[in-house]
Amino acid sequence: MKFTPVFLLLYLIIGAGIMPVYAGDSVSLDVPPASLEEWYKPANKRQVWLHTMFRLRREMQAIGEYAEQKDQAGMKKWISRLEKDYSKIADMVPEWEKEIKPRLLPELEMFAEKGDTPRLAKTLKMIQRTCDDCHSDYQPLVTAMYRSPHYEDIKVKGLNGAPQSFTDNMENLSDSVNRILIALEDGHKAVAQQARQNLVDQLQHLGDSCNRCHKDDKYPRERILGEETQQRFKTLQSNIDKGQVKDSQKLMGEIAVTVCARCHNTHRIVSDLRNALLPD
């Protein structure tokens, strides 16, 4: 199905609160041990678990590459690092002690010393399989639980100056978008202009909350609410004044795609997944 900008806008607004239900096979996801939380933010100051996983991947890649080059010194260096980080898994999450196979590490070192590249590659693949098996069982839910933003604690300034929840902010944004479209349809220029200004102000306040997660990084906000978006709203103001209804509707569709959909595709999908899987 091909969506026109205006139809896509209405589809996003009307369907925002609708959760489809599908018949068929159910999906089962394993809940990770509670001890894992200790190694993710905000329980930990650093993303210790993530950085450990990144190092493991890098170490296994380095071992494989040096094995192809028959560089024993390079293999020895990275196998030593792999042993250290691989062993940390059970230290950090004792419940996963049976998920890993530390006995493979001495074998890896032995094959490296002998220069037995085929058996080293096979052993390395077995170690990789322990990682892949764990990821298959736990990664989707872990991502939803520990790597998606929590919006409940973030407050956004409302049009009346009072702080409001993200949920209320989204509802008000939707109201403003619809009010613009209704006013355009019915030829009420003043109402459309006021709703346009409300929407601009609401998005400005929403953008002020970006630094809660993005800190000093201005790019995420600029990408969604930057110069191009501001220019669209200026053009919209001019179009409304001129009574150019179709051009205004088309522009609202562009704003829906470049602002609403772009932000939702980045932030909302994983957040909704977490809320659906872990409603409590």
Which stretch, 96-105, 149-158, 257-266, has highest mean pLDDT?
96-105
Question: What is the rounded average pLDDT for all residues in the chain?
Answer: 87
| Chain segment 222-272, per-residue pLDDT in tens | 888 999 999 999 999 999 999 999 999 999 999 999 999 988 888 888 788
Spatial separation of the C-alpha atoms in residues 120 and 130, rounded to whole Å: 16
What is the spatial distance between Cα 108 and Cα 103, in angstroms, rounded to a whole number?
9
Read off the pLDDT band of 27 (50, 70, 90).
Answer: low
Burial of 193 (0-12, 13-18, 19+ CB in 10 A): middle
Supply the pLDDT for residue 209: 87
Residue type, 270: V
Q: Which of the pair, 276 or 239, is modelled with greater confidence?
A: 239
Does 22 score more than 50 pLDDT? no
Residue with tokens 């650093």: 46
Q: Which helix (H) or strand (E) holds 178?
A: helix 166-186
User: Who has greater pLDDT, 245 or 24?
Assistant: 245
| Residue recorded with tokens 């205006």 | 6
Q: How far apart are CA 72 and CA 80, in angstroms?
A: 12
Q: Long-range contacts for 10-18 (Cβ within 8 Å, ≥24 apart)?
A: 10/181, 12/256, 12/260, 12/261, 12/264, 13/174, 13/177, 13/178, 13/256, 16/170, 16/174
Residue 19 has pLDDT above 50, yes or no: no
Cα-based torsion angle of the residue sequence 215, 219, 223, 225 in order, rounded to the nearest 10 degrees: 50
Q: CB atoms < 10 A from the CB of 163, how many?
A: 12
Report residue 44: phi and psi, to 5°.
-120, 150
pLDDT tens for each residue of 172-221: 999 999 999 999 999 999 999 999 999 999 999 999 888 878 888 888 88
What is the CATH T-level fold of the domain 150-277, as seen in this structure? Four Helix Bundle (Hemerythrin (Met), subunit A) (1.20.120)
Tell me the two tokens of residue 3: 């969506």
Per-residue pLDDT for 23 more than 60? no
Q: Supply the pLDDT for residue 134.
A: 92
| Domain boundaries of the chain, sorted by first residue | 34-145, 150-277
**Dist. CA 111–CA 123, nearest whole Å:** 9
3-class DSSP state of 257: helix
Residue 248, pLDDT score = 96
